[in-house]
Amino acid sequence: MTPPTRRARPTGRRAVSLTLALIALLALAFAPVSAADGPRASEMMVAETVAASIDGFGERVPASSGVVDRVNRRLSSLFGGSDPEVPGVRASAAVASPMPFTSVGFELPEGTDGVWFRTHGPEGWSSWTHLEAIDLDDGPDLGTDEAADAVDREFSELAWVGEATHLEVDTAAGYPVGGVTAHVADTMGLAGGPVETVTGLLSDAGEEARGRPDVIRRSQWGANENWRRGNPRYAEVGQGIVHHTATRNYYSRDEAPAIVRSIYHYHTQVLGWADIGYNLLVDRFGRIYEGRAGGLERGVVGAHARGHNTGTFGISVIGNYHDAPARQVAFDALTDAIDWQFDVHGISGRGTYQGRSTLIGHRDVGSTVCPGYYLYRRLGEIRSAVG
């Protein structure tokens, strides 16, 4: 192959123009999201979800990660749980996925607290990331039909990877990497599945109830209703529980609905839940999504906090807010959604429910950092503003 020809360095007016263009692009890239970037009617491409399970990671082999990856992995371990015996030095061999994928979650060897992984995509290998095991305090309430139908094995949280084709995994010392199974899904049409255009992303103003913010309905974000099982359960609501999805913080406007679809797929098709666990979701652009089916203004029982689903609604902000603060437009949308739900159910932000505040974080009722340090510390602001 002939090496690429080195281009001459631009000079004069052309160099100035390129410099100004670069400055403008950088300004746009780092500009904060404003209200103008929030909800608006638009078209959305909804792809048919394609999924696969991958095992055969085999025994550990010397990993190719360099010093930067090892340092990154060690820093991540401070927030993510147990680190492998020698971080970033030995891991599984790289395994190819049967199709490009946008999200991945892992079935884990019994007893392990999570998994390390990295993916290979158009930009090369990602850094190593730790996924916690799904806590026993997550999921449907025990004693329900939904809990009985759920898969009784250990799984990790779900990760959004954007676009990838290969995986490497590692586990804490003493647990075989060969015991890990990856569940990958493509919700962006990378694998060439059918794509449908949905027009009018947001509900019409004429359909809005009193004080209800714009909400992207299930049909609009592309929920496959064939994945849902049984009928919704209802209860009187007295409390809101705030979550984060623990997926990565940077994603595009087009990726956000695909992330919701990936969570829905993981909850129903991998974990065996009857529907997506959350009642509502909020993305980094301030858009609010209908989660579990059954009615936006009814007390639908979710699967977001085991033992505390009945009598509460769960709302999750898409991203990891233990690592970074939520953008203000997302925080404002979260506040608006909670204010609407409190109004619907007659809840006061300064009240109590079963001995706790009427608005809590998932960590208040489970062994988890959810909804993350940066989001949890701002719940007092929402309590003061709502209901």
pTM, full prediction: 0.81
pLDDT of 249 above 70: yes
Where are the alpha helices (H) located in the chain, listed in sequence order? 12-30, 67-80, 145-149, 218-221, 255-265, 328-345, 373-376, 379-385
d(CA 45, CA 95): 30
For the chain, what is the mean pLDDT?
A: 80
Contact (CB, 8 A) for 120 and 114? no
Task: Give the count of beta carbons closer than 10 Å to the beta carbon of residue 261.
Answer: 24
Give tens-digit pLDDT for 132-180. Answer: 888 766 889 888 999 998 988 889 999 999 999 999 988 876 677 778 8
Higher pLDDT, 192 or 80: 192
pLDDT reading at 208 higher than 60: no
> Which residue, among 186, 192, 191, 215, has the nearest Cα to 203 in the 3D structure?
215
> Per-residue pLDDT averaged across 245-270, rounded?
95
Structure confidence at residue 141 (pLDDT): 87
For residue 32, pLDDT beyond 70: no
Model confidence at 46: pLDDT above 90: no
Peptide bond connecting 32 to the previous residue in cis, omega within 30 degrees of 0: no
Question: Pairing state of beta strands 181-186 and 50-54?
Answer: antiparallel
State the pLDDT at residue 225: 95
319-to-50, 227, 285, 298 alpha-carbon distances in Å? 23, 24, 11, 26
Residues 45-66 have a mean pLDDT of: 72
Mean pLDDT of 68-84: 45
Which has the closest alpha carbon to 324: 273, 369, 277, 375? 375
Higher per-residue confidence, 21 vs 355? 355
* pLDDT beyond 70 at 198: no
**Which one has a higher pLDDT value, 36 or 237?**
237
User: By CB neighbour count within 10 A (0-12 exposed, 13-18 middle, 19+ buried), where does 210 fall?
Assistant: exposed
pLDDT of residue 88: 46
pLDDT for res 114: 85
Listed range (85-94, 119-128, 147-156) with the worst mean pLDDT: 85-94
Burial of 34 (0-12, 13-18, 19+ CB in 10 A): exposed
The pLDDT of residue 197: 54
Q: Does 40 score more than 60 pLDDT?
A: no
What would you report as the CA-atom Rg of the chain, rounded to the nearest whole angstrom?
22
Reduce the DSSP state of residue 8 to 3 states and report it: coil
Judge whether residue 24 has pLDDT over 80: no
Token pair 């399970």: residue: 53
Distance CA 59, CA 178 (A): 6
Residue 379 has pLDDT above 50, yes or no: yes
List domains and CATH numbers for the chain.
Answer: 50-186 (no CATH), 201-385 (3.40.80.10)
Q: Is residue 353 scored above 80 in pLDDT?
A: yes
Where is average pLDDT lowest: 22-36, 240-254, 261-275, 334-348?
22-36
Identity of the amino acid at 52: A
Provide the pLDDT confidence category of residue 90 given band limits of 50, 70 and 90.
low
